[in-house]
């Protein structure tokens, strides 16, 4: 993100903004929204602690320790993030592609939608397997230009 780079240039010598900043920000916004409806003291306390944490992390001069925390967090969310992205692509390409797992190496493969049984060679392990597809690609019909 462009503005993140700019902010981090302004905060040279400090930790600045990283992935954990965004998570904290989302949590603070969630607390604020929840507090509108619930109006709970502990929620306000959590909100305050999160704000203190966000300010502490931005202006911390112990950059290596903050980067270590950020890397740890990024390692934890890497796998769920990949899975969410994959499922999002499966939903997005539902009318154009078929996603199948290779039975040998468990690699997810994206295939074109064409009704029938097809022999597929896995690009990762090069083993052959059969895929049955019961849908054809839905073609999107668009008007290119108006009638003359
Ligand atoms: Zn494979």
Q: How far does residue 37's CA lie from ligand 1's centre (Å)?
A: 50
Q: How far does residue 10's CA lie from ligand 1's centre (Å)?
A: 48
Q: What is the pLDDT of residue 47?
A: 93
Q: How far does residue 115's CA lie from ligand 1's centre (Å)?
A: 22
In this structure, is the dihedral angle defined by the CA atoms of residues 6, 11, 15 and 20, taken in order, positive or negative?
Answer: negative
- For the whole model, what pTM was predicted? 0.63
Domain boundaries of the chain, sorted by first residue: 2-92, 97-133
Of the candidates 142, 120, 122, the residue with the CA atom closest to the CA atom of residue 133: 120
Q: What is the pLDDT of residue 148?
A: 62
Which residue in the block uniquely carries the two structure tokens 């849908």? 135
Q: How far does residue 110's CA lie from ligand 1's centre (Å)?
A: 12
Is the Cβ–Cβ distance between 50 and 28 less than 8 Å? yes
Q: What is the pLDDT of residue 125?
A: 95
Ranges of residues in the chain with a pLDDT under 70 are 1, 148
In tens, the pLDDT along 31-62 reads 999 999 988 899 999 999 999 999 999 999 99
DSSP state of 14: S
């Amino acid at each position: 993100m462009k503005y993140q780079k700019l902010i981090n240039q302004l905060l040279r010598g400090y930790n600045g903004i990283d992935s954990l900043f965004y998570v904290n920000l989302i949590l603070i916004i969630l607390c604020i929204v929840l507090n509108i409806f619930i109006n709970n003291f502990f929620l306000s306390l959590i909100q305050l602690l999160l704000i203190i944490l966000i300010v502490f992390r931005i202006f911390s001069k112990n950059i290596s320790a903050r980067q270590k925390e950020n890397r740890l967090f990024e390692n934890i969310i890497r796998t769920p993030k990949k899975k969410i992205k994959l499922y999002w692509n499966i939903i997005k390409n539902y009318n154009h592609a078929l996603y199948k797992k290779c039975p040998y190496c468990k690699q997810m493969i994206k295939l074109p939608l064409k009704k029938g049984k097809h022999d597929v060679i896995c690009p990762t392990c090069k083993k052959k397997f059969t895929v049955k597809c019961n849908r054809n690609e839905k073609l999107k019909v668009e008007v290119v230009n108006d009638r003359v």
